[in-house]
Chains A and B, each alone.
Chain A
């Protein structure tokens, strides 16, 4: 096929638009974009912004599924726009909406403030079991100890799991899959001693117990982090903690 023939083929993008200054509520608008075989949804959005409507807003950065900025609903599924290719979508218009379960700031941009607060609330850093000085050397870890938490450290904070989680939709205060994956990344680390602090942060209805093991969070994860596993492991931990905390010497009264 000649290049001219390729470029005449177009694809329709139905985009949920919302401009807070002028729109009462979001509504769909369609754009026709020249189609090429190697085009991602992100590239299609960039084409719209460059050539059709400069007011269209969306987040993006790396274009290679590493930064986690371009999460959005594509044909109703939470996906990264950069690694969703038009050629893999069914023929017909492509529906693009802001990530579900989050307030829309503008067009495809959602509020991330609550998510960042949740991440901060679970002590997202190693709290050493026994603090060492530099002179005492490094903290060593076996491959098996690394494997115990490694997948959870692959999270890119794209929030697709939150958009897939109906329980987060019902209860926006639920800590949610992503933050729990990060929690398990540290709780599962052999060098870490902060498990109790983190367990105290996630006990209760807004902690792990809003999860009903729907499991779609793990299916939509572009990095195969398996956040559903992180949450459900900590349901067990939280239940043990509930029954055992009276026996601990440092039990909070």
Chain B
């Protein structure tokens, strides 16, 4: 007679709080900061559409200490999101084969991160040039 009685262990509901999964959780949560950043941008566009008074109020809000603090915090979290996003990038794209050899994941991450940093800098310079 078979003594088979497979035992199924209960699922660990808190897996996302523990390493090594915690870094995944942090990466995904940092996406919320990207949404909030988008929200700030859209609020600006909306107030621009509503007229000069509304837009000036928006600008005053941006210059307030609370907004500066919020933006600093958001910037830090978004930078974290960008960095970890590009660390994940090699896992999400088709293998890159150059000269019959696979391009290492670290190289892809490096190039993508530099490209993102470079284009952000370019955008800032362009904005400063337009606003001069």
Contacts and interface: CB of A to CB of B under 8 A. Distances in A.
Interface of A: 18, 20-21, 25-26, 100, 103-105, 111, 142-144, 147-148, 151, 166, 169-170, 188, 212-216, 218-219, 226, 228-229, 232-233, 235-236
B42 interface: no
Interface residues of B, number: 27
B3 A100 contact: no
A213 B100 contact: no
Interface string B17-50: 0001100100010000000000000000000000
Interface stretch (B63-71, B91-99, B119-127): B91-99
Given A20-B5, A214-B24, 4 more contacts: A111-B6, A148-B97, A166-B21, A236-B92
Contact of A228 (B15, B91, B102): B91
Contact of A20 (B3, B15, B90, B99): B3
A216 B5 contact: no
Contact of A229 (B5, B11, B90): B90
Contacts of A144: 97, 99-100
Given A166-B15, A169-B12, A170-B11, A105 B91 contact: no
6 interchain residue pairs of minimum CB distance: A103-B6, A143-B100, A20-B5, A232-B92, A144-B100, A21-B3
A218 B15 CA distance: 17
B6 A104 contact: yes
Given A143-B100, A166-B21, A229 B7 contact: no
Contacts of B8: 103-104
Contacts of A111: 6
Determine the main DSSP class of B at the interface with A: loop
Contact of B16 (A166, A188, A229): A166
Interface of B: 3-9, 11-12, 15-16, 20-21, 24, 28, 88, 90-95, 97, 99-102
A18 B8 CA distance: 11
Contacts of A226: 91
Contact of B7 (A25, A214, A232): A25
Given A144-B100, A214-B21, A233-B93, A26 B7 contact: yes
Contacts of A215: 24, 88, 91
A147 B97 contact: yes
A20 B100 CA distance: 52
Given A147-B100, A148-B97, A232-B92, A18 B20 contact: no
A235 B91 CA distance: 12
